[in-house]
Structure 1
Amino acid sequence: MHTDLVAALDIGGTKIAGALVDGDGRILARAQRATPAQQDGETVMRAVAEVLGDLAGSPLWGHARSVGIGSAGPVDASAGTVSPVNVPGWRDFPLVDRVRTITGGLPVELIGDGVAITAAEHWQGAARGHDNALCMVVSTGVGGGLVLGGRLHPGPTGNAGHIGHISVDLDGDPCPCGSRGCVERIASGPNIARRALEQGWLPGPDGDTSAAAVAVAARAGDPVAVASFERAAQALAAGIAATATLVEIDIAVIGGGVANAGDVLFTPLRKTLTDYATLSFVQRLTVVPAQTGTDAGLVGAAAAALTRLPDVQAASH
Structure 2
Amino acid sequence: MHTSLVAALDIGGTKIAGALVDGDGDLLLRAQRPTPAEGDAETVMGAVSAVLDDLAASPLWPGVVAVGIGSAGPVDRSAGTVSPVNVPGWRGFPLVERVSRAVGGLPVDLVGDGVAVTAAEHWRGAARGFGNALCMVVSTGVGGGLVLDGRLHTGPTGNAGHIGHISVDLDGDLCPCGARGCVERIASGPNIARRALEQGWTPGRDGDATAAAVAAAARAGDPVAIASFERAAQALAAGIAATATLADLDIAVIGGGVAGAGEVLFDPLRRSLRDYAALSFVRRLTIAPARMGTDAGLVGAAAAALLGRRPERTPA
TM bucket (normalised to shorter chain) is over 0.9
Q: Secondary structure at the match of 2:16?
A: strand
Measure the CA separation in 2 of the matches of 1:107 and 1:173: 42
Structure 1 residues 26-175: aligned runs within 5 Å: 26-175=26-175
Give, as a single letter, the amino acid of the residue that structure 2 aligns with 1:48. V
Cα distance between partner residues in 1 of 2:257 and 2:310: 34
Partners in 1 of 2:79 and 2:311 — Cα distance?
20
Query: Which residue of structure 2 aligns with residue 11 of structure 1?
Result: 11
Residue 46 of structure 1 aligns to a residue whose secondary structure is helix
Q: In structure 2, do the counterparts of structure 1 residues 136 and 100 end up closer, same or farther at CA, with 3 Å as the change threshold? A: same
Percent identical among aligned pairs is 80
Q: Deviations over 1:247-268 (max 9, x none)?
A: 1111000000000000000000
Equivalent position of 2:293 in the other structure: 293
In structure 1, C-alpha distance between the alignment counterparts of 2:125 and 2:310, rounded to whole Å: 22
Alignment of 1:133-282 (within 5 A): 133-282=133-282
In 2, distance between residues paired with 1:240 and 1:171?
19
Query: Structure 1 residue 293: deviation in Å?
Result: 0.4
C-alpha displacement of 1:303: 0.3
- Superposed CA offset, 1:118-151 (max 9, x none): 0000000000000100000000000000000000
Counterpart Cα distance in 1 of 2:239 and 2:169: 10
For 1:27 and 1:144, locate their aligned partners in 2 and report how far apart those are by CA, in whole Å: 23
Q: CA deviation at 1:190?
A: 0.2
Cα distance in 2 for residues equivalent to 1:188 and 1:308:
31
Distance in 2 between the 1:58 and 1:28 partners?
Answer: 10
SS of residue in 2 equivalent to 1:216: helix
Partner of 2:284: 284
The TM-score, its normalising length taken from structure 1, stands at 0.98
SS state at 2:92 partner? coil
3-state SS, counterpart of residue 174 of structure 2: coil
1:230 match: secondary structure: helix
Q: Which residue identity is paired with 2:267? A: T
C-alpha displacement of 1:278: 0.7
Q: Which amino acid aligns with 1:300?
A: G
2:4 corresponds to which letter in structure 1?
Answer: D
SS at match of 2:294: helix
State the 1:23 CA deviation.
0.2
Q: Which residue of 2 aligns with 1:315?
A: none
1:276-306 deviations in whole A, cap 9, x for unaligned?
Answer: 0010111110111000000000000000011
Q: Distance in 2 between matches of 1:226 and 1:282?
A: 26
2:9 is aligned with what amino acid? L
Which residue identity does 2:180 align to in structure 1?
R
Q: CA deviation at 1:58?
A: 0.4
What TM-score does the superposition give when structure 2 sets the normalisation length? 0.98
Name the SS of the counterpart of 2:287 in structure 1.
strand
After superposition, the CA RMSD in angstroms is 0.9
Q: CA–CA distance in 1 between the matches of 2:97 and 2:71?
A: 15
List per-residue Cα deviations over 1:154-204 (Å, max 9, x = no partner): 100000000000000001011111000000000000000000000000100
Could you tell me how far 1:308 is from its partner in structure 2?
A: 1.8
Q: Which amino acid is the alignment partner of residue 262 of structure 2?
A: G
Instruction: Map Cα deviations across residues 52-102 of structure 1 (whole Å, 9 max, x no partner).
Output: 000000000000000000000000000000000000000000000000000
Report the Cα offset of residue 311 of structure 1: 5.7
SS in 2 for 1:24: coil
SS of equivalent residue, structure 1 residue 208: coil
Structure 1: runs of 5+ lacking an equivalent: 313-317
Q: What amino acid maps onto 2:268 in structure 1?
A: P
Stretches (4+) displaced over 4 A: none
Per the TM alignment, residue 310 of structure 1 is displaced from its structure 2 partner at its CA by 2.9
Q: How many residues align?
A: 312
